[in-house]
């Protein structure tokens, strides 16, 4: 596993992508690497990260793999310390890590399932904001969040509520940082044929959906 490659002299910009092993996170990581960024890719799935790294290297890019769980505070604190020690700051943090619980009526949400959603979508996000904020300020960077407004829709109780809370955190941070930085962007991607969406809408005609690659390109054009 490529965990600590040398940074090419012509690629000084550093991007942290949390939730990088698949879907939009992987597409963002690949697009950034193709543009000359060095990508720090974080996800629980080591195999998915290795496949991502293979694609990035094949295209001539570079990445540092961090097979970590964003809900583990000690791991995230160690990651932030390592980023500060090695690069001093970040130019981008793209946060795509999400826990999407299966759809269920609000009255039947299991406590353990709700706890997982809260831990990943709310608690980890709040913790990461605190850890990454100094790095983005040091690097004159941008934080990028992705909304999925499902709150209040039937059967989306656990996911919709915790995703809405995540974006509320991001919006508060955005308002607080408007004058002092870092820049905080919140985008709503077009529907994509991701594994998460497949769980929500099985049997959907996926040919009509936008690709993760296309959405990554659209969003990165804003930075």
- Interacting residues of 209 by C-beta distance below 8 A, sequence separation 6+: 190, 191, 192, 193, 197
Model confidence at 7: pLDDT above 90 = no
Residue-level pLDDT at 169: 98
DSSP 104-160: B-GGG--HHHHHHHIIIIIIHHHHHHHHHHHHHHHTT-EEEEE----TTSTTBHHHH
Residue-level pLDDT at 223: 85
Class of domain 14-220: alpha beta
Under 8 Å between Cβ of 213 and 220 = no
Mean pLDDT within 128-146: 98
Under 8 Å between Cβ of 200 and 103 = yes
Q: Where are the domains of the chain?
A: 14-220
pLDDT tens-digit series, residues 23-64: 999 999 999 999 999 999 999 999 999 999 999 999 999 999
Model confidence at 87: pLDDT above 80 = yes
DSSP 17-68: EES-SSHHHHHHHHHHHHTT-EEEEEES-HHHHHHHHHHHHHTT-EEEEEE-
């Amino acid at each position: 596993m490529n965990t600590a490659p040398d940074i090419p002299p012509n690629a000084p910009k550093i991007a942290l992508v949390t939730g990088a092993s698949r879907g939009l996170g992987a597409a963002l990581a690949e697009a950034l690497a193709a543009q000359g960024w060095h990508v720090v890719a974080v996800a629980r799935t080591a195999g998915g990260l290795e496949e991502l790294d293979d694609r990035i290297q094949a295209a001539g890019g570079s990445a540092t793999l961090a097979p970590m769980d964003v809900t583990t505070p000690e791991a995230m604190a160690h990651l932030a310390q390592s980023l500060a020690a090695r690069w001093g700051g970040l130019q981008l943090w793209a946060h795509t890590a999400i826990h999407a619980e299966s759809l269920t009526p609000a009255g039947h949400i299991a406590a353990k399932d709700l706890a997982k959603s809260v831990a990943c979508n709310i608690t980890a996000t709040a913790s990461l904001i605190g850890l990454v904020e100094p790095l983005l300020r040091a690097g004159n960077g941008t934080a990028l969040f992705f909304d999925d407004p499902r709150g209040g829709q039937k059967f989306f109780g656990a996911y919709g509520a915790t995703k809405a809370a995540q974006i509320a955190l991001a919006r508060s941070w955005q308002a607080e940082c408007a004058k002092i930085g870092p820049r905080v962007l919140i985008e709503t991607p077009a529907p994509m044929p991701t594994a998460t969406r497949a769980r929500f809408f099985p049997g959907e005609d996926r040919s009509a959906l936008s690709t993760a690659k296309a959405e990554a390109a659209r969003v990165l054009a804003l930075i």
